[in-house]
Amino acid sequence: MFFGRRFGMLEGFFDTAAYMQNRELSWLKFNERVLLEANRTDMPLLERLKFISIFSSNLDEFFMIRVGSLSDSVLLGNKLSDNKTGMSAQEQLDEIYRVIAPLYALAGHAFSSVIKGLTKHGVEFVRMSSISGGELKTLKNHFVHNIMPLLSPSIIDPKHPFPHIQNKQMHIAVTLEKKKGTTFGLIAVPPELDRLIFLDGKGWRFVLIEDLILHFADLAFGSYKVIEQTIIAVTRNADFDTEEELLDEDIDFRQHMQSLLKKRQRLAPVRLEIFGSVSPEMLEFLCLKLFLDPTQVFYSTAPLDLSFSFYIGRYFDTETYDRLVWPVHAPVNPLDPSIRGNMLELASGKDMFFAFPFESITPFLSLVRQAAEDSSVLSIKITVYRLDALSKLAESLILAAENGKEVVVLMELRARFDESNNIEWASRFEEAGCRVIYGLVGYKCHSKLCLITRKISG
């Protein structure tokens, strides 16, 4: 049974009868389908958990970019409407907020279902509210000695202004009782701490770091009495214009992008996520300080950050892990081992077609590596959109430049949320002697092209 049928979502939340669909609402339909994958009983449990995490990270980016862009249009008084449905920017935002709220309920149900299933395999997501006795004492000791020294609790009053909340960083929001009434406080959850704290005993029982800090928040605030606490996360607008200043030929694009990335951390909030619920007083306070409307506040019963879904399996034994995931896909190398050593000659002699990721990308990586080392190769020219932090392709390009070959890299610095990584690689390429081009104003280069030039027999 799919969630859409159970909750009437597919029929009620989206108008499927229209010939033309609004771009944003259509995308939310797609993300709903991602979430529905988490309810497939034929899918291994960790894979289902990953789909909930993918749904969540997709929604994060949707708010940072699409909702951010629409919010800017409203603030700037942009009168342009959607050319498919005629909806104004504000009307699109209103409809987005309306249809997203039920998605959080679906995600919460999906998470609860998956966690319940994992318990049968010895993997237990433990809430602090259910821990007592010796385990609670052990966790308190861990909090006092290993976590509390890293916390920086903030009390918010006329002498202590509301602090800047980093994009998507979880915080513990509290209401504090004092002699003359109440005040509010915040504790940032340090991102450098391990999210998972495993408990002793049979199987793999763990609590989340934010749940532990939430439970012992009163210790962090000393003499203040905590009368309410919850976990929150703020999503900030991350949509910025990279084009306007680039018409000036004196602008250094790389420095320009670096300054924009710093600016991104300070852009206006577009969403507040709350784990569980809060009192009307705290909600009003947070909305006031973050300049948000209550329609921009969303409540979740699943953790606000599910990124641990992709690495929790490394703690399990092999037998348990294999039961909880799909078998690993091993790409096929279609080339006979006897001919793989000379990709340059193979590529020069005939056309070859590979289907990634079903077939291995090794032949292409070997081609570029051999070109970097071959004395007949004069130049390598390539377009790059994203690179891994440990990229074999990048290493080969650097080697080619160090071997005296002309290496030209069209590096797209505007690859969404990979800008910092690409800026770092662009610097390394230039230091190695590569010529780096940053693309064209008004366009993103998403193509994957590589040209190798050789000189043979004159």
What's the CA gap between 53 and 89, in Å, rounded? Answer: 28
Side by side, the strands of the sheet bearing 154-156 are 154-156, 181-188, 171-178, 225-236, 269-275, 297-300
Per DSSP, helices labelled H in 291-342 are 318-324
Q: Which amino acid is at 307?
A: S
88 has which bridge partners? none
Residue 245: exposure state from Cβ atoms within 10 A (0-12, 13-18, ≥19): middle
Q: Cβ neighbours of residue 432 under 8 Å, at least 6 residues apart?
A: 397, 398, 401, 402, 407
Residue matched to tokens 């377009």: 383
- Write the secondary structure of 169-229 as one string of H (helix), E (strand) and C (coil): CCEEEEEEEECCEEEEEEEECCCCCCCEEEECCCCEEEEEHHHHHHHCHHHHCCCCEEEEE
Catalytic position from the list 121, 142, 164, 446: 446
Distance from C-alpha of 135 to C-alpha of 133, rounded to nearest angstrom: 6
Question: Is residue 446 flagged as an active site residue?
Answer: yes
For residue 211, the tally of other CB atoms under 10 A from its CB is: 20
Angle at 206 between CA 3 and CA 143, to 5 degrees: 130
Distance (Å, whole) CA 287 – CA 284: 5
**Burial environment of residue 291 by CB neighbours within 10 A (0 to 12, 13 to 18, 19 or more):** exposed
Cite the active site residues: 446
